[in-house]
Structure 1
Amino acid sequence: MTDAPTLDASESDKRRQILDGAREVFLACGFDGASMGGIAKAAGVSKGTLYVYFDSKEALFEALTIEEKCGLAENLFRLDTDDPDVPAVLRRLGLSFVDAMSRPEHIASVRMVIGASEKFPRFGRAFYEAGPVQGTERLRVYLDAQVAAGRLRPADTKLAARHFLDLCASGTLRRLLFAVGDPPTAAEKSYLIGEAVRVFFAAYGPEPAPGPSATGR
């Protein structure tokens, strides 16, 4: 990926303008159908300016993918390790996660990356590492703190983070990727995430306090 260094605010604004135009064209035309000329037109810049920032359509697509997934992971997974109300934290995270995953533009992006990854495997890797990997890692850090505080039982917290996010998605993302049905309603999301938290705590909640022994009765 080759793009010009950000030197000042105007450079940053121009890069943002190009990425916004690229997003519009990629979502409308797909990776194969997009052209640098079409992206330049949508962004309101000349092709010469476009090539100053990105030397190819592939570099531009990869930069856009990484930026959007990193931003999504950063915004969704802002978790306070000192917050002791683990069910509430997970519920808020789960609802935000499902909201983001269910948005039509996100579904379109996932489809586009999957389609382009057969020819350019690095696109899929960049998408995965910038989004799912970062989100899982941020959740793992929070879960580690809760294990240390005794609010969760000792476990493989990286796997536990994956389990929770999979419970939240619970087939929703897969269904929407195949254009089956509508995004979940607010009531459906509330039920889905409530069940995800319940199942998560059944597996990873704190060990129950030992009851009185038979001889101690």
Structure 2
Amino acid sequence: MEGAREVFLAQGFDAASMGEIARKAGVSKGTLYVYFDSKERLFEAITHEACGAQAETVFSLDSADHDVEAVLTRLGRSFVKFLCRPGAMSPLRTVIAISNRMPEIGREFYETGPAKGVTKLCHYLESQVAAGILTIEDCEVAAAQFLDSCVATILKPLLFNAVEAPSDGRIDHVVGIAVRTFLAAYRPVA
């Protein structure tokens, strides 16, 4: 899978060939087709693996941890740093580019990555509402709002290759604003 990932990142989905992927992986094309019946299925498997790993690592939240500010700060930093790591935008750009003609790949990417992250954060927020720490009408919307706030002014410029990855200081600044805004909206009024 690593060889295929490298070829897709270097050449893009459309230019990548199963022959080149097999060569890079050190296997025959026939062997590759035993495991994946098409380039689309191989790309889908790679994105599924990457997104699943992201959701499990970045969104590992302990519902018993009631220090919401610290939890959201850690999550926000991890989430933004994950998106800003070298090579992170290439799969996203590729999925966006091909999802119009292959919607199942776009759907799979979204469900195993972004949607799973929102769901995991939503469950954490629900536990904090149940504990009386937060007051949230719709935890799914609140989770999506928080994550979107963390990448405000960061994701789109990176996606379009308009800027270099932000510094840790910039990430901390944007995430800090997102956390403070979130808590101002959802902490119970005393």
Q: TM bucket by the smaller chain?
A: over 0.9
Is 2:75 the counterpart of 1:93? yes
Q: Which aligned pairs between 1:113-132 and structure 2 lie closer than 5 A?
A: 113-132=95-114
Is 2:126 the counterpart of 1:148? no
Larger radius of gyration: 1
- Displacement of 1:177: 0.8
* 2:27 matched residue in structure 1: 45
What is the aligned counterpart of 1:109 among 79, 83, 91? 91
Distance in 1 between the 2:65 and 2:163 partners? 36
Distance in 2 between the 1:192 and 1:93 partners? 13
Distance in 2 between the 1:52 and 1:191 partners? 48
- Displacement of 1:170: 0.6
Is 2:64 the counterpart of 1:82? yes
* 2:189 matched residue in structure 1: 208
What's the CA shift string for 1:120-148, capped at 9, x where partnerless?
11111111111011000000110000001
* 2:171 matched residue in structure 1: 189
Distance in 2 between the 1:181 and 1:154 partners? 35
Is 2:156 the counterpart of 1:174? yes
Distance in 1 between the 2:160 and 2:89 partners? 9
Q: Unpaired segments of 5 or more residues in structure 1?
A: 1-18, 210-217
Distance in 1 between the 2:17 and 2:32 partners? 12
Please tell me the residue identity of whatever aligns with 1:147: V
TM-score, length of structure 2 as denominator length: 0.97
Distance in 2 between the 1:104 and 1:136 partners? 23
TM-score, length of structure 1 as denominator length: 0.85
Is 2:41 the counterpart of 1:59? yes
Q: Secondary structure at the match of 1:104?
A: coil
* 1:164 matched residue in structure 2: 146
Distance in 1 between the 2:10 and 2:172 partners? 32
Question: Root-mean-square deviation (CA), in Å?
Answer: 0.9
Please tell me the residue identity of whatever aligns with 2:189: P
Distance in 1 between the 2:122 and 2:15 partners? 39
- Displacement of 1:47: 1.0
Please tell me the residue identity of whatever aligns with 2:32: L
Distance in 1 between the 2:31 and 2:173 partners? 49
